[in-house]
A and B are shown apart, each in its own frame.
Chain A
Amino acid sequence: MSASGARTLRDVGLRVVGTLATAILLALLALPIAALVLHVPPARLIARMGDPAVLEALRLSLVTSLAATLAVVALGLPLAWLLATRRFPGRRLLEVIVDLPMVLPPTVAGLALLLALGRAGLAGHVLAAFGITLPFTTAAVVVAQIFMAAPFFIAPVRAGLAAVEPRYLDAAATLRADETYRFLHVTLPLSLPSVVAGVAMCCARALGEFGATITFAGNLPGVTQTMPLAVYMAFQTDLEAAVTLAVLLLVFSAALLLGLRLAPSWVRIDAHRNH
Chain B
Amino acid sequence: MKRMSAVLAFLFAAALAATSLSASKPKPAEGTTLTVFAAASLTEPFTELGRMLESSHPGLTVRFNFAGSQQLAAQIDQNADADLFASADEHWMSFLVDHGKIEGEPRVFAHNELVVIVPKSNPARIQTLPEISKRGVKVVLGSPSTPIGIYSRGVLQRMGALGLDYPSNFAERVLANVVSEEDNVKSVVTKVQIAEADAGIVYRSDVTDPVARVVRVFQIPPKAQVVANYPIAPLKSSIHGQEARAFLNLLASKEGRAVIERYHMTVPEPDKH
Contacts and interface: CB of A to CB of B under 8 A. Distances in A.
B138 to A, nearest CB: 6
The winner among B9, B73, B140 for most chain A CB atoms within 10 A is B9
Contacts of B195: 119-120
A218 B180 contact: yes
B181 A19 contact: no
A219 B10 contact: no
A31 B183 contact: no
Interface string B164-201: 00000000000000111111000000010011100000
Interface stretch (B12-20, B53-61, B227-235): B12-20
Interface in A92-140: 114, 118-120, 135-136
Nearest to A21: B13
Max count, chain A CB within 10 A of own CB: residue among B5, B12, B14, B140: B14
Contacts, number: 84
B256 interface: no
Contacts of B178: 220
Interface residues of B, number: 33
A73 to B, nearest CB: 29
A27 interface: yes
B93 to A, nearest CB: 15
Contacts of A183: none
Nearest to B73: A236
A173 interface: no
Contacts of B183: 214, 219, 232-233, 236
Contact of A219 (B18, B180, B194): B180
B255 to A, nearest CB: 33
Given A19-B5, A120-B194, A24 B13 contact: yes
Contacts of A118: 194, 196
Q: How large is the interface on A (under 10, 10 to 19, 20 to 34, 35 or more residues)?
A: 20 to 34
A114 to B, nearest CB: 7
Given A218-B179, A236-B68, A237-B70, A119 B123 contact: yes
A19 B68 CA distance: 43
A239 interface: yes
B74 interface: yes
Contacts of B180: 136, 218-220, 224
Contacts of A236: 68, 70-71, 73-74, 145, 183
Interface in B127-186: 138, 140, 143, 145, 178-183
A254 interface: no
Nearest to A229: B183
6 contacts: A23-B6, A31-B17, A31-B18, A118-B194, A136-B138, A136-B196
Interface of B: 5-6, 9-10, 12-14, 16-18, 21, 68, 70-71, 73-74, 78, 121, 123, 138, 140, 143, 145, 178-183, 191, 194-196
